[in-house]
Amino acid sequence: MTTGQQGGAPLTCFGRAAIAYAARLRLHVLPLLPCKKEPCGRLVPHGFVDATIEAAVIERWWHLVPGANVGIACAPSGVIVIDVDPRNGGDDSLVEVERELGPLPRTWTVLTPGGGAHYYLRCDGADPIAGVLGPGVDVKHRGYVAAPPSVHPNGGVYRWDSGVHPLEATIAQVPSIWLARMRTGRGPPRASSGLDACESFLGVAFDALAWLGEPLPHGKRQVRCPWLPEHSDGRGDGRDSSTVIFPCAAGSTIGGFVCSHAHCAGRDVLSVVRCLPPEAIEAAARRFPGAYRRLLWRLASPRAGTP
């Protein structure tokens, strides 16, 4: 009998995906009810505890229930999944955490049918992980998530974001500062100037391009992402909170930038300055010459980082 067949019957796309996750990625899988997010009780009576990487077991499950969604048990697979739900304020919460802890690295990313995302990060060990990073941002570790090509109850399909599919990209290790936040529930706050983000070098530059959007709480501003053509889900056009600039930190006039799209992971203020058109940089430099000089110095540094 060949892998993926039993008695001549080929596996569905769900079964084939489950086999691939287990065989190629060593992710422990379990069947979920068709078009649901709950475990298929008659196949896995103990829920995600019954997840496995054994091909024979997986094939049997998906031959018995061909339309079963695919679940991935996080802890046995050595991963955590950051689940961002924009309907509950997840976009705002994520950019706030990234403001405190630095951006998430580029890693495997699933676009969820609710308009959110699942960010997979490598995390071995049994230490307790916080369940929530903020409103609409959950951390899945002692549990499971639905994986592509599962079908959401709303009819939408979970899919891998382009460029960060497991066969196209590597999974990133969870940054130590993020892991500390997940374990303690606390993060290192950064003092803010208390100004509107438009009153910053970045704010003036984005305003010069008509990329400055509506104000958000705590002085943040929605903005159009400079890398919008790389986005695969339409977000980041300046009319949602997936791409945001922050007010200046106390004692600075530069401002901060975060985009939650996978293609923008790791892109910081210096990345923005490098790609903005000259007219935007000139407008900001006239308003904030000191910030411009500091940015030039950082851009010239061989170890350029976030200002």
Most confident by average pLDDT, 32-36, 180-184, 301-305: 32-36
| Higher-scoring residue by pLDDT: 251, 24 | 24
Residue 242's nearest CA partner among 219, 262, 218 is: 262
Q: What is the mean pLDDT of residues 35-48?
A: 94
- CA 19 – CA 36 distance, rounded (Å): 20
At 306, is the pLDDT very low, low, confident or very high (cuts 50, 70, 90)? very low
Which pLDDT does position 231 carry in this prediction?
Answer: 86
Encode pLDDT of 241-271 as tens digits: 889 998 887 667 888 888 878 778 668 788 8
- Of the pLDDT bands very low, low, confident and very high (cuts 50, 70, 90), residue 1 is very low
**pLDDT for the residue 189:** 44
* Of 140-144, 221-225, 252-256, the least confident: 252-256
Q: What is the pLDDT of residue 117?
A: 92
pLDDT at 68 over 80: yes
SS3 173: strand
Q: What is the DSSP letter of 152?
A: -
Mean pLDDT of the 199-222 span = 92
pLDDT bucket at 2, cuts 50 / 70 / 90: very low
In this predicted structure, the answer to whether residue 234 has a pLDDT above a threshold of 90 is no
Q: Which residues contact 198 (CB under 8 A, 6 or more apart)?
A: 204, 207, 212, 215, 221
The DSSP code for 39 is B
Q: What is the mean pLDDT of residues 77-89?
A: 88
User: Which of 144, 134, 138, 142 lies closest to 117, judged by CA?
Assistant: 138
Q: Give whichever of 114-128, 138-152, 234-248, 260-274 has the largest mean pLDDT.
A: 138-152
- Among 6-20, 49-63, 133-147, the least confident range: 6-20
Q: 142 by DSSP, 3-state: which? A: coil
Region for 136 from its dihedrals, namely left if φ exceeds 0, alpha if ψ lies in -120 to 50, beta otherwise: left
Please, which pLDDT band fits residue 81 given cuts at 50, 70 and 90? very high
Among candidates 182, 222, 15, 194, which has minimal Cα distance to 83?
182
Name the phi and psi angles at 171, rounded to 5: -80, 135
Q: What is the mean pLDDT of residues 67-82?
A: 96
Higher pLDDT, 35 or 240: 35
Q: Using pLDDT thresholds of 50, 70 and 90, give the confidence band for residue 90.
A: confident
pTM exceeding 0.75:
no
Quick one: what percent of the chain has pLDDT higher than 90? Answer: 54
pLDDT at position 232 is 79
DSSP code, position 221: E
What ranges in the chain are assigned the alpha helix state H?
A: 13-25, 55-64, 74-77, 90-101, 176-184, 201-208, 269-275, 278-287, 289-300
CA-based nearest residue to 33, from 155, 152, 158: 152
Instruction: With cut-offs at 50, 70 and 90, classify the pLDDT of residue 190.
Output: very low
> Average of pLDDT values for 135-152?
92
> What is the secondary structure of 229-273 as a DSSP string?
GG-SSS--BSSSTTEEEEPPBTT-SS-EEEE-SGGGTT--HHHHH
Mean pLDDT of the chain: 86
**pLDDT over 70 for what percent of the chain?**
89
pLDDT higher than 90, residue 206: yes
Helices (H), 33-73: 55-64
